[in-house]
Protein backbone atom coordinates (compact mmCIF):
# COMPACT_ATOMS: atom_id res chain seq x y z
CA UNK A 1 0.00 0.00 0.00
CA UNK A 2 1.17 3.51 -0.87
CA UNK A 3 0.05 6.40 1.33
CA UNK A 4 0.32 10.16 0.73
CA UNK A 5 0.12 12.44 3.78
CA UNK A 6 -0.60 16.09 2.99
CA UNK A 7 1.04 18.69 5.23
CA UNK A 8 4.34 19.45 6.86
CA UNK A 9 3.80 20.05 10.58
CA UNK A 10 3.94 18.19 13.86
CA UNK A 11 0.51 16.65 13.30
CA UNK A 12 1.64 15.26 9.96
CA UNK A 13 4.85 13.87 11.48
CA UNK A 14 2.71 12.04 14.07
CA UNK A 15 0.41 10.73 11.32
CA UNK A 16 3.33 9.52 9.20
CA UNK A 17 5.00 7.92 12.25
CA UNK A 18 1.82 6.04 13.18
CA UNK A 19 0.96 5.03 9.60
CA UNK A 20 4.50 3.68 9.13
CA UNK A 21 3.74 1.04 11.79
CA UNK A 22 1.24 -0.71 9.49
CA UNK A 23 3.03 -3.67 7.86
CA UNK A 24 0.94 -3.37 4.68
CA UNK A 25 2.16 0.18 4.07
CA UNK A 26 5.17 -0.20 1.80
CA UNK A 27 5.72 3.46 0.90
CA UNK A 28 4.73 6.78 2.48
CA UNK A 29 5.05 10.13 0.77
CA UNK A 30 4.54 13.44 2.56
CA UNK A 31 3.92 16.76 0.83
CA UNK A 32 5.75 18.93 1.69
CA UNK A 33 6.96 17.18 4.88
CA UNK A 34 9.87 18.37 7.01
CA UNK A 35 13.25 17.21 8.29
CA UNK A 36 11.81 14.86 10.91
CA UNK A 37 9.19 13.37 8.60
CA UNK A 38 11.95 12.40 6.16
CA UNK A 39 12.96 9.62 8.59
CA UNK A 40 9.69 7.79 7.91
CA UNK A 41 8.55 9.04 4.49
CA UNK A 42 9.76 10.46 1.21
CA UNK A 43 9.16 14.19 1.32
CA UNK A 44 7.75 15.71 -1.87
CA UNK A 45 8.21 19.40 -2.61
CA UNK A 46 4.52 20.19 -3.12
CA UNK A 47 2.69 22.70 -0.93
CA UNK A 48 -0.33 21.41 0.98
CA UNK A 49 -2.39 24.11 -0.74
CA UNK A 50 -1.39 23.06 -4.31
CA UNK A 51 -4.29 20.70 -4.92
CA UNK A 52 -3.67 20.30 -8.66
CA UNK A 53 -0.06 19.24 -8.11
CA UNK A 54 -1.09 16.86 -5.30
CA UNK A 55 -3.72 15.29 -7.57
CA UNK A 56 -1.19 14.84 -10.36
CA UNK A 57 1.31 13.28 -7.95
CA UNK A 58 -1.27 10.88 -6.50
CA UNK A 59 -2.27 9.74 -9.98
CA UNK A 60 1.28 9.28 -11.26
CA UNK A 61 2.39 7.36 -8.17
CA UNK A 62 -0.70 5.15 -7.82
CA UNK A 63 -1.41 6.34 -4.28
CA UNK A 64 -3.83 4.02 -2.46
CA UNK A 65 -4.88 6.41 0.34
CA UNK A 66 -4.31 10.13 0.81
CA UNK A 67 -4.53 11.47 4.38
CA UNK A 68 -5.02 15.24 4.66
CA UNK A 69 -3.52 16.91 7.73
CA UNK A 70 -4.26 20.67 7.57
CA UNK A 71 -7.59 22.43 7.20
CA UNK A 72 -6.81 24.67 4.22
CA UNK A 73 -6.87 22.02 1.46
CA UNK A 74 -9.98 20.44 3.03
CA UNK A 75 -11.84 23.76 3.06
CA UNK A 76 -10.79 24.32 -0.55
CA UNK A 77 -12.23 21.00 -1.68
CA UNK A 78 -9.31 18.58 -2.08
CA UNK A 79 -11.53 15.63 -1.11
CA UNK A 80 -14.14 16.44 -3.78
CA UNK A 81 -11.43 16.73 -6.44
CA UNK A 82 -9.66 13.49 -5.48
CA UNK A 83 -12.95 11.58 -5.27
CA UNK A 84 -13.98 12.83 -8.75
CA UNK A 85 -10.74 11.25 -9.96
CA UNK A 86 -11.55 7.95 -8.19
CA UNK A 87 -8.78 8.42 -5.61
CA UNK A 88 -9.31 7.30 -2.02
CA UNK A 89 -8.84 10.21 0.40
CA UNK A 90 -9.52 10.76 4.10
CA UNK A 91 -11.34 13.90 5.16
CA UNK A 92 -14.63 15.76 4.72
CA UNK A 93 -15.77 17.21 1.41
CA UNK A 94 -15.87 20.97 0.91
CA UNK A 95 -19.46 21.31 2.12
CA UNK A 96 -18.53 19.54 5.37
CA UNK A 97 -15.21 21.30 5.88
CA UNK A 98 -17.03 24.63 6.05
CA UNK A 99 -17.60 23.57 9.68
CA UNK A 100 -14.08 24.91 10.26
CA UNK A 101 -13.88 27.21 7.25
CA UNK A 102 -16.60 29.51 8.57
CA UNK A 103 -17.19 30.23 12.25
CA UNK A 104 -20.46 31.92 11.25
CA UNK A 105 -21.67 28.69 9.61
CA UNK A 106 -20.51 26.66 12.59
CA UNK A 107 -22.18 28.88 15.20
CA UNK A 108 -25.45 29.01 13.23
CA UNK A 109 -25.40 25.22 12.87
CA UNK A 110 -24.91 24.84 16.63
CA UNK A 111 -27.78 27.22 17.31
CA UNK A 112 -30.07 25.40 14.89
CA UNK A 113 -29.40 21.95 16.35
CA UNK A 114 -29.23 23.00 20.04
CA UNK A 115 -25.55 22.22 20.52
CA UNK A 116 -24.37 24.08 23.64
CA UNK A 117 -22.19 27.09 22.80
CA UNK A 118 -21.74 30.70 23.92
CA UNK A 119 -24.34 33.29 22.89
CA UNK A 120 -23.14 35.26 19.87
CA UNK A 121 -23.79 37.89 17.22
CA UNK A 122 -22.43 38.04 13.67
CA UNK A 123 -21.30 41.24 11.92
CA UNK A 124 -20.07 42.09 8.44
CA UNK A 125 -20.08 45.85 9.12
CA UNK A 126 -17.34 47.37 11.29
CA UNK A 127 -19.41 50.32 12.52
CA UNK A 128 -22.32 48.11 13.60
CA UNK A 129 -19.90 45.80 15.39
CA UNK A 130 -18.37 48.80 17.20
CA UNK A 131 -21.82 49.93 18.30
CA UNK A 132 -22.56 46.45 19.64
CA UNK A 133 -19.40 46.21 21.76
CA UNK A 134 -20.43 49.39 23.61
CA UNK A 135 -23.38 47.48 25.07
CA UNK A 136 -21.91 44.11 25.98
CA UNK A 137 -20.65 42.77 29.29
CA UNK A 138 -16.91 42.05 29.32
CA UNK A 139 -14.89 40.02 28.69
CA UNK A 140 -16.03 39.06 25.17
CA UNK A 141 -14.46 37.00 22.41
CA UNK A 142 -13.98 38.36 18.89
CA UNK A 143 -13.45 35.77 16.16
CA UNK A 144 -12.56 36.13 12.49
CA UNK A 145 -15.05 34.12 10.44
CA UNK A 146 -12.56 32.28 8.22
CA UNK A 147 -9.32 30.35 8.61
CA UNK A 148 -6.59 32.14 10.55
CA UNK A 149 -4.14 29.35 11.48
CA UNK A 150 -5.54 29.10 15.00
CA UNK A 151 -4.86 32.78 15.72
CA UNK A 152 -8.18 34.38 14.75
CA UNK A 153 -9.70 34.26 18.24
CA UNK A 154 -9.11 37.29 20.48
CA UNK A 155 -10.27 37.48 24.10
CA UNK A 156 -11.09 41.10 24.94
CA UNK A 157 -11.13 42.33 28.53
CA UNK A 158 -12.66 45.74 27.77
CA UNK A 159 -14.05 47.99 25.02
CA UNK A 160 -10.59 49.18 23.94
CA UNK A 161 -9.41 45.59 23.41
CA UNK A 162 -12.55 44.72 21.46
CA UNK A 163 -12.35 47.83 19.27
CA UNK A 164 -8.71 47.09 18.45
CA UNK A 165 -9.58 43.48 17.61
CA UNK A 166 -12.38 44.57 15.29
CA UNK A 167 -10.20 47.13 13.52
CA UNK A 168 -7.35 44.63 13.14
CA UNK A 169 -9.63 41.92 11.75
CA UNK A 170 -12.16 43.88 9.69
CA UNK A 171 -10.25 47.02 8.64
CA UNK A 172 -6.55 46.18 8.69
CA UNK A 173 -7.35 42.62 7.50
CA UNK A 174 -4.57 41.00 9.51
CA UNK A 175 -6.17 37.63 8.65
CA UNK A 176 -7.07 38.61 5.08
CA UNK A 177 -10.52 37.65 3.78
CA UNK A 178 -11.08 35.58 6.92
CA UNK A 179 -12.01 38.90 8.55
CA UNK A 180 -14.83 39.86 6.19
CA UNK A 181 -17.20 38.78 8.96
CA UNK A 182 -16.72 38.45 12.70
CA UNK A 183 -18.42 36.56 15.48
CA UNK A 184 -18.66 38.37 18.82
CA UNK A 185 -19.56 35.97 21.61
CA UNK A 186 -19.79 35.70 25.36
CA UNK A 187 -16.58 34.62 27.07
CA UNK A 188 -17.05 31.26 28.77
CA UNK A 189 -15.00 30.67 31.92
CA UNK A 190 -13.99 27.11 32.76
CA UNK A 191 -11.41 24.59 31.61
CA UNK A 192 -10.75 23.77 27.97
CA UNK A 193 -10.59 20.27 26.53
CA UNK A 194 -10.27 18.79 23.06
CA UNK A 195 -12.57 16.02 21.89
CA UNK A 196 -11.58 14.36 18.65
CA UNK A 197 -13.56 11.70 16.80
CA UNK A 198 -13.60 10.00 13.42
CA UNK A 199 -16.87 9.39 11.60
CA UNK A 200 -18.04 7.66 8.44
CA UNK A 201 -21.26 9.66 8.41
CA UNK A 202 -23.14 7.11 10.51
CA UNK A 203 -20.88 5.86 13.30
CA UNK A 204 -18.86 8.15 15.57
CA UNK A 205 -15.58 6.70 16.85
CA UNK A 206 -14.35 8.97 19.67
CA UNK A 207 -10.66 9.20 20.46
CA UNK A 208 -9.48 9.47 24.04
CA UNK A 209 -9.60 12.92 25.65
CA UNK A 210 -6.84 15.52 25.39
CA UNK A 211 -6.15 19.11 26.35
CA UNK A 212 -4.38 21.80 24.33
CA UNK A 213 -2.59 24.91 25.66
CA UNK A 214 -3.30 27.76 23.24
CA UNK A 215 -1.73 30.93 24.75
CA UNK A 216 1.98 31.44 24.20
CA UNK A 217 3.01 31.97 27.84
CA UNK A 218 2.65 30.09 31.13
CA UNK A 219 -0.66 30.30 33.01
CA UNK A 220 -2.49 30.79 29.69
CA UNK A 221 -1.22 34.33 29.26
CA UNK A 222 -0.35 36.17 26.06
CA UNK A 223 -1.77 35.84 22.53
CA UNK A 224 -3.26 32.64 21.17
CA UNK A 225 -1.08 30.33 19.09
CA UNK A 226 -1.65 27.17 17.10
CA UNK A 227 -0.98 25.34 20.38
CA UNK A 228 1.99 25.26 22.76
CA UNK A 229 1.54 21.73 24.05
CA UNK A 230 -1.01 19.05 24.84
CA UNK A 231 -1.55 15.97 26.93
CA UNK A 232 -3.80 12.91 26.98
CA UNK A 233 -5.89 11.74 28.69
CA UNK A 234 -7.42 14.91 30.14
CA UNK A 235 -8.93 14.20 33.58
CA UNK A 236 -11.26 17.21 33.25
CA UNK A 237 -13.25 14.99 30.84
CA UNK A 238 -14.79 12.60 33.35
CA UNK A 239 -16.88 9.61 32.27
CA UNK A 240 -20.03 11.69 32.90
CA UNK A 241 -18.78 14.63 30.84
CA UNK A 242 -17.63 12.24 28.10
CA UNK A 243 -21.21 10.98 27.86
CA UNK A 244 -22.59 14.53 27.72
CA UNK A 245 -20.17 15.42 24.90
CA UNK A 246 -21.31 12.44 22.85
CA UNK A 247 -25.03 13.02 23.52
CA UNK A 248 -25.18 16.82 23.36
CA UNK A 249 -22.40 17.67 20.89
CA UNK A 250 -21.19 14.89 18.60
CA UNK A 251 -24.45 13.06 17.89
CA UNK A 252 -26.50 16.24 17.32
CA UNK A 253 -23.76 17.56 15.03
CA UNK A 254 -23.78 14.42 12.88
CA UNK A 255 -27.59 14.52 12.84
CA UNK A 256 -27.43 18.18 11.82
CA UNK A 257 -25.16 17.33 8.91
CA UNK A 258 -27.64 14.72 7.74
CA UNK A 259 -30.50 17.21 8.00
CA UNK A 260 -28.46 19.69 5.95
CA UNK A 261 -27.75 17.04 3.30
CA UNK A 262 -24.04 16.83 4.11
CA UNK A 263 -22.40 13.38 4.08
CA UNK A 264 -19.59 14.09 6.53
CA UNK A 265 -16.68 11.64 6.69
CA UNK A 266 -13.38 12.26 8.44
CA UNK A 267 -12.36 13.95 11.67
CA UNK A 268 -14.63 16.00 13.90
CA UNK A 269 -12.71 18.03 16.45
CA UNK A 270 -14.66 19.82 19.16
CA UNK A 271 -12.76 22.46 21.11
CA UNK A 272 -14.68 22.61 24.38
CA UNK A 273 -15.00 24.70 27.49
CA UNK A 274 -16.10 22.67 30.51
CA UNK A 275 -18.16 25.00 32.72
CA UNK A 276 -19.43 23.50 35.99
CA UNK A 277 -19.15 20.02 34.47
CA UNK A 278 -21.16 21.04 31.41
CA UNK A 279 -19.52 21.00 27.94
CA UNK A 280 -19.84 24.04 25.64
CA UNK A 281 -18.38 24.15 22.13
CA UNK A 282 -15.84 26.91 21.51
CA UNK A 283 -15.09 25.77 17.96
CA UNK A 284 -15.29 22.85 15.58
CA UNK A 285 -12.44 21.74 13.35
CA UNK A 286 -12.57 19.34 10.42
CA UNK A 287 -9.15 17.70 10.99
CA UNK A 288 -6.88 16.32 13.67
CA UNK A 289 -5.72 18.85 16.26
CA UNK A 290 -2.14 20.02 16.39
CA UNK A 291 -0.56 19.38 18.92
CA UNK A 292 -3.23 17.03 20.37
CA UNK A 293 -2.55 14.44 17.64
CA UNK A 294 0.98 13.91 18.95
CA UNK A 295 0.05 12.61 22.44
CA UNK A 296 -3.08 10.88 21.15
CA UNK A 297 -1.26 8.84 18.51
CA UNK A 298 1.50 7.86 20.93
CA UNK A 299 -1.27 6.36 23.10
CA UNK A 300 -3.25 4.73 20.26
CA UNK A 301 -2.41 1.02 20.24
CA UNK A 302 -4.68 0.15 17.29
CA UNK A 303 -3.82 0.56 13.64
CA UNK A 304 -4.61 4.06 12.33
CA UNK A 305 -4.84 3.09 8.65
CA UNK A 306 -7.49 0.49 9.47
CA UNK A 307 -9.57 3.18 11.22
CA UNK A 308 -9.05 5.68 8.39
CA UNK A 309 -9.97 3.11 5.75
CA UNK A 310 -13.12 2.16 7.70
CA UNK A 311 -14.17 5.84 7.72
CA UNK A 312 -13.67 6.15 3.97
CA UNK A 313 -15.44 2.86 3.22
CA UNK A 314 -18.34 3.56 5.59
CA UNK A 315 -17.83 0.61 7.95
CA UNK A 316 -16.50 2.19 11.15
CA UNK A 317 -19.02 0.12 13.12
CA UNK A 318 -16.89 -2.95 12.32
CA UNK A 319 -13.81 -1.55 14.06
CA UNK A 320 -15.17 0.84 16.72
CA UNK A 321 -15.20 -1.73 19.53
CA UNK A 322 -11.69 -3.01 18.84
CA UNK A 323 -9.84 0.31 19.18
CA UNK A 324 -7.37 0.17 22.08
CA UNK A 325 -5.62 2.93 24.01
CA UNK A 326 -2.55 2.72 26.20
CA UNK A 327 -3.23 3.18 29.90
CA UNK A 328 -0.13 5.39 29.99
CA UNK A 329 -0.32 9.18 29.75
CA UNK A 330 1.36 11.25 27.07
CA UNK A 331 2.57 14.85 27.19
CA UNK A 332 3.71 16.96 24.23
CA UNK A 333 5.68 20.19 24.83
CA UNK A 334 5.97 22.49 21.83
CA UNK A 335 9.34 24.18 21.38
CA UNK A 336 8.88 27.36 19.36
CA UNK A 337 10.92 30.13 17.80
CA UNK A 338 11.32 33.18 20.06
CA UNK A 339 8.82 35.83 18.98
CA UNK A 340 6.15 33.36 17.84
CA UNK A 341 3.22 33.88 17.17
CA UNK A 342 4.50 37.20 15.86
CA UNK A 343 7.84 37.78 14.08
CA UNK A 344 10.57 35.19 14.47
CA UNK A 345 13.77 34.09 12.79
CA UNK A 346 14.29 30.97 10.71
CA UNK A 347 17.33 28.95 9.76
CA UNK A 348 18.79 28.52 13.27
CA UNK A 349 20.61 25.23 13.91
CA UNK A 350 18.95 22.88 16.44
CA UNK A 351 21.18 21.03 18.89
CA UNK A 352 20.56 17.96 21.03
CA UNK A 353 18.20 15.93 18.84
CA UNK A 354 20.56 12.93 18.67
CA UNK A 355 20.72 12.77 22.45
CA UNK A 356 16.92 12.75 22.79
CA UNK A 357 16.63 10.04 20.11
CA UNK A 358 18.34 7.68 22.59
CA UNK A 359 15.61 8.18 25.23
CA UNK A 360 12.98 5.48 25.63
CA UNK A 361 9.31 6.36 25.08
CA UNK A 362 10.17 9.86 23.86
CA UNK A 363 9.65 10.99 20.28
CA UNK A 364 10.36 14.43 18.87
CA UNK A 365 7.72 15.30 16.27
CA UNK A 366 9.06 17.95 13.91
CA UNK A 367 6.84 20.88 12.90
CA UNK A 368 8.89 23.78 11.52
CA UNK A 369 12.21 22.19 10.54
CA UNK A 370 14.27 21.61 7.40
CA UNK A 371 17.73 20.44 6.39
CA UNK A 372 20.35 23.07 5.55
CA UNK A 373 23.91 22.05 4.70
CA UNK A 374 23.32 18.68 6.34
CA UNK A 375 22.08 20.20 9.61
CA UNK A 376 18.51 20.47 10.96
CA UNK A 377 17.45 24.11 11.32
CA UNK A 378 14.32 25.97 12.38
CA UNK A 379 11.81 26.72 9.63
CA UNK A 380 8.67 27.92 11.40
CA UNK A 381 7.05 29.32 14.52
CA UNK A 382 6.29 26.01 16.17
CA UNK A 383 9.44 23.95 15.61
CA UNK A 384 9.26 20.70 17.61
CA UNK A 385 6.69 18.75 19.63
CA UNK A 386 8.64 16.82 22.26
CA UNK A 387 6.33 13.97 23.27
CA UNK A 388 6.75 11.49 26.12
CA UNK A 389 4.78 8.41 27.16
CA UNK A 390 4.84 7.33 30.82
CA UNK A 391 2.62 5.56 33.40
CA UNK A 392 1.22 8.81 34.88
CA UNK A 393 0.76 12.42 33.84
CA UNK A 394 3.35 13.42 36.45
CA UNK A 395 6.02 11.10 35.07
CA UNK A 396 5.14 11.96 31.47
CA UNK A 397 5.57 15.67 32.26
CA UNK A 398 8.95 15.00 33.87
CA UNK A 399 10.13 12.86 30.96
CA UNK A 400 8.97 15.38 28.34
CA UNK A 401 10.80 18.25 30.04
CA UNK A 402 13.89 16.11 30.57
CA UNK A 403 13.98 15.74 26.79
CA UNK A 404 13.15 19.41 26.15
CA UNK A 405 16.12 20.45 28.30
CA UNK A 406 18.48 18.43 26.11
CA UNK A 407 17.43 20.39 22.99
CA UNK A 408 18.52 23.95 22.29
CA UNK A 409 18.83 26.68 19.71
CA UNK A 410 19.24 30.42 19.83
CA UNK A 411 16.12 32.16 21.20
CA UNK A 412 14.07 28.99 21.75
CA UNK A 413 10.77 29.45 23.61
CA UNK A 414 8.52 26.92 25.35
CA UNK A 415 6.00 26.91 28.17
CA UNK A 416 7.10 25.22 31.38
CA UNK A 417 3.60 24.35 32.65
CA UNK A 418 2.25 21.92 30.03
CA UNK A 419 0.12 19.25 31.73
CA UNK A 420 -0.01 20.94 35.11
CA UNK A 421 -3.78 21.52 34.88
CA UNK A 422 -4.20 17.75 35.13
CA UNK A 423 -2.34 17.53 38.42
CA UNK A 424 -5.07 19.12 40.53
CA UNK A 425 -7.40 16.22 39.63
CA UNK A 426 -4.76 13.60 40.33
CA UNK A 427 -3.50 15.22 43.53
CA UNK A 428 -7.06 15.78 44.68
CA UNK A 429 -7.86 12.11 44.14
CA UNK A 430 -4.73 11.14 46.03
CA UNK A 431 -5.78 13.27 48.98
CA UNK A 432 -9.23 11.75 49.34
Please give the Cα distance from 162 to 164 (Å, whole number).
Answer: 5
Q: What is the CATH number of domain 191-431?
A: 3.30.470.20
**Under CATH, domain 125-180 is a member of which superfamily?**
ATP-grasp fold, A domain (3.30.1490.20)
Cβ atoms of 236 and 214 within 8 Å: the answer is no
Low-confidence ranges of the chain (pLDDT < 50): 430-432
Cβ atoms of 20 and 5 within 8 Å: the answer is no
Q: What is the CATH number of domain 2-91?
A: 3.40.50.20
Q: Residue 279: is the preceding peptide bond cis (ω within 30°)?
A: no
Outline which parts of the chain fall under CATH 3.30.1490.20.
125-180
Distances (CA, A) of 358 to 20, 353, 403: 20, 9, 10
Outline which parts of the chain fall under CATH 3.40.50.20.
2-91
**Range 417-421 contact pairs with CB under 8 angstroms and sequence separation of 24 or more:** 417/213, 417/218, 417/219, 418/213, 418/228, 418/229, 418/230, 418/231, 418/331, 418/332, 418/333, 418/334, 419/229, 419/231, 419/331, 419/393, 421/191, 421/211, 421/236
- Residue 164, pLDDT score: 96
- Residue 432, pLDDT score: 39
- Residue 148, pLDDT score: 85
- Residue 428, pLDDT score: 60
Please give the Cα distance from 302 to 64 (Å, whole number).
Answer: 20
- Residue 151, pLDDT score: 77
Instruction: State in Å, rounded, how far the first CA of the chain is from the last one.
Output: 52
Outline which parts of the chain fall under CATH 3.30.470.20.
191-431
Amino acid sequence: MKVLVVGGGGREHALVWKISQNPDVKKIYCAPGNAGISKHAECVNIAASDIDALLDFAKRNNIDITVVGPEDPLVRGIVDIFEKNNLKIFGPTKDGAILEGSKVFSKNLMKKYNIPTADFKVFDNLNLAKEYIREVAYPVVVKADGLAAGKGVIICKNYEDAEKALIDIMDKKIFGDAGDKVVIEDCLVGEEASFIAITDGETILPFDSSQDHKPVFNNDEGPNTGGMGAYSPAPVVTEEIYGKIMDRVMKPLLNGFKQEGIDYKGVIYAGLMIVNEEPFVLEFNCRFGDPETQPLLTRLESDLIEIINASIEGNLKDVENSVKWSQDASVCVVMASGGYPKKYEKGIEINGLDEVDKMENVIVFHAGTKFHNGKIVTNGGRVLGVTALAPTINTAIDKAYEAVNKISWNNVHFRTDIGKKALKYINGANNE
